[in-house]
Amino acid sequence: MKCPFVSSVSTGLFKRSNITLASALNHCPFIRQQRSLTITPENNILTKSKTAVSDERNCPYIHGQTVERPRSSELLARARSRSPALELANIWNTGPVTNIETADVPKSDVLQDIYQETPGSIRKNPVPGKIPEVWAESMHIQLQKKKDEGTYRNLMTVNKSTQRAPLLEKIDSKVVYPLVRESYCSNDYLSMSSHPTVIKAAVHAAEKHGTGAGGTRNISGTSELTVALEREISSWHQAEDALIFNGCYPANDATLSTLLGRRFPGAQCFSDSGNHASMIQEEQADPSNRLFTFRHDSPEHLEELLREEYLKDPYLPRIVAFESVHSMGGNIQRISELADVAHQYGALTFCDEVHAVGLYGHTGAGIAEVERVRKKIDIISGTLGKGVGGFGGYIAGPSLLVDQVRQHAPGFIFTTAMPPTVLASNIASIRILKGPEGRQLRDQHWEAVNALRDELDDFGIEYKKPARASHITAVELNSTWLADQVMDELDRRGFYVQAIKSPTVPLGEEMLRLTVSPRHLRNPQSIPRFASELFNTINAYQTVAN
């Protein structure tokens, strides 16, 4: 059994520095955690014991020990016996190894090799930016508002590992060593980005065709791999045609802006209130009142709105847009009923299957495949960056409609095409997901999802339980402060969970959006340990808040 701390440190870091394994051991989180903690009776203050020692003889990785998975009931009893105050203080001390700035010291082996092969330096004297006061004042106000609301985003730097998922490395410029974290928020649901066949396809494509497309789709950017990927997608969704984009946001935006643009005057869009930003930004930007929002997953409200507008003018082009799996709420929407209502009033149906492709259906084609309603969905949009584990987005549908987008959407026409490496890996991943291995991965994924929910139930951790639940587990905290505190504390305890805040969700509906993969089943202690720490953390900070 490998030590998760030592094995996380890149070999290049040891080679290029005077750091020894013996000195690195002094900073092992497990060894550091062995220091005893005592509470002074007089003032209930947490202090270190004078007799505290760091004894590597207790490390289970040195002696190859394994620990039998504790039962959930045992974990619950153990967790509830702890004082919230003690839990807040008893955290892993993985602080800075040095007081020097290490931002210029790469932790990634890939980056180290690049820097070694391409000598050079990064300029540290940028040209001072001069922004006109009318712009600068407004920007300062807007950014300060986000900080005051607690919605200002600080992006965490992490390095994924193909061999050790769901573990990843958190990169801190003040810490010499990468900090190992176990991820519970990745959208690489099936870990397809780490599949050997997928990686091999990307490497082979780079060696044969290079790393870039070299142009737009119209100017030397459409390769045999491009055509093959679009054919693979259209076959997957039983559609006449498909079109790929450099992301699902541009796919949705380009398609809806084309169908609701000047070439279709008066066209109306009926959008689910829970839709992703990519499905509502274009409509909201239109000065005319052509966007109608119906209550989330409500065919009844949709019919009210459609009937009212249809009676005014039955000949206007209309489109109804909705998701199959809601990205934040975690519910599977009633796409069949929504489609029936749309078609009753002559509207097109646009279904975003972003969080479903790869994960649902016999071939992984999504909810439309599961519910056998593919014929009811006129346009399917999907991503290649979640269940497929790659990069990009697409639409699939009737050839006439797809060609309309191909010929008129600026978001498709005026951008560089997808590179060969990405095309090849996407093709390989989809073909795996269509077959027996894909079905096995989907079964394992649900095993991990159910294991997580069983643990949350045992600890009494509340999460959304929609009638038609998807794989997404949303733990509602309803406070930006609480969401941030829980996220930061879990980070100190060795877990990476991203707090979901405004504008992704409305203020007051903050949550932890938990996801797991088949890789979480590798260690039977992983999910129970996470649930235990989550319970302790939420309990502690809710106590502080109250």
Domain that holds residue 323: 196-434
Contact 360, 367 (CB under 8 A): yes
Mean pLDDT over residues 270-284, rounded? 77
Judge whether 21 lies within some domain.
no
Looking at the structure, tell me whether residues 347 and 427 fall in a common domain. Answer: yes
Judge whether 16 lies within some domain.
no
CA distance 358 to 347: 28
Judge whether 422 lies within some domain.
yes
Concatenating the DSSP letter of every residue in 145-158 gives HHHHHT----PPPE
Looking at the structure, tell me whether residues 415 and 530 fall in a common domain. Answer: no
Looking at the structure, tell me whether residues 476 and 527 fall in a common domain. Answer: yes
Looking at the structure, tell me whether residues 110 and 150 fall in a common domain. Answer: yes
Looking at the structure, tell me whether residues 206 and 240 fall in a common domain. Answer: yes
Which of 400, 418, 434 terminates a domain? The answer is 434
CA distance 314 to 470: 36
Looking at the structure, tell me whether residues 508 and 471 fall in a common domain. Answer: yes
Percent of the chain surpassing pLDDT 90: 70
CA distance 29 to 354: 38
> pLDDT tens digits for 26-49?
555 545 444 433 333 333 333 334
Mean pLDDT over residues 530-537, rounded? 98
pLDDT band with cut points at 50, 70 and 90 for residue 263: very high
Percent composition of the chain: helix, strand, coil (DSSP 3-state, to 5): 45, 15, 45
Looking at the structure, tell me whether residues 485 and 420 fall in a common domain. Answer: no
Judge whether 386 lies within some domain.
yes
Contact 74, 14 (CB under 8 A): no
Judge whether 173 lies within some domain.
yes
At residue 360, what is the residue type? Y
Which candidate, 272, 278, 501, 515, places its Cα nearest to that of 382? 278
Sign of CA dihedral 360, 361, 366, 370: negative
Which of 434, 457, 483 terminates a domain? The answer is 434
Among 282-291, 378-387, 439-448, whose mean pLDDT is lowest? 282-291
CA distance 371 to 507: 34
pLDDT at 259: 95
Sign of CA dihedral 32, 154, 248, 512: positive
Task: Identify the three-state secondary structure at position 349.
Answer: strand
Write phi, then psi, for 180 (nearest 5 degrees): -75, 130
Looking at the structure, tell me whether residues 291 and 324 fall in a common domain. Answer: yes
> pLDDT tens digits for 160-175?
999 999 999 999 888 8
Mean pLDDT over residues 349-361, rounded? 98
Kindly report the average pLDDT of the chain as a whole number: 85
Judge whether 191 lies within some domain.
no
What angle do the packed helices 72-80 and 526-545 form, to 10 degrees?
30
pLDDT at 95: 45
Judge whether 22 lies within some domain.
no
pLDDT at 14 over 60: no
The number of distinct structural domains making up the chain is 2
Residues 6+ away with beta carbon under 8 Å from 70? 78, 525, 528
Looking at the structure, tell me whether residues 238 and 317 fall in a common domain. Answer: yes
Q: What predicted TM-score, i.e. pTM, was given to this entire model? A: 0.82
Looking at the structure, tell me whether residues 243 and 383 fall in a common domain. Answer: yes
CA distance 250 to 394: 9
Query: Tell me, what CATH number does 104's domain have?
Result: 3.90.1150.10
Looking at 107, 170, 376, 386, which residue is catalytic?
A: 386
Mean pLDDT over residues 506-521, rounded? 95
Task: Assign residue 464 a region (left: φ > 0; alpha: ψ between -120 and 50; beta: otherwise).
Answer: beta
> pLDDT tens digits for 381-438?
999 999 999 999 999 999 999 999 999 999 999 999 999 999 999 999 999 999 999 9
Task: Identify the three-state secondary structure at position 464.
Answer: coil
pLDDT at 517: 98
> pLDDT tens digits for 312-340?
999 999 999 999 999 888 999 999 999 99
pLDDT at 288: 59
Query: Tell me, what CATH number does 402's domain have?
Result: 3.40.640.10
Q: Is 386 a catalytic residue?
A: yes
Looking at the structure, tell me whether residues 425 and 446 fall in a common domain. Answer: no
Write phi, then psi, for 115 (nearest 5 degrees): -65, -35
Two tokens at 145?
Answer: 């508002």
pLDDT at 35: 41
Q: Is the peptide bond before 166 cis (omega within 30 degrees of 0)?
A: yes
Which of 372, 401, 434 terminates a domain? The answer is 434
pLDDT at 27: 53
Give Cα 237 distance to the centre of its chain: 23
Specify which residues 243 forms β-bridges with.
395
Looking at the structure, tell me whether residues 420 and 285 fall in a common domain. Answer: yes
Is the pLDDT higher at 366 or at 81? 366
Judge whether 184 lies within some domain.
no
CA distance 329 to 358: 19
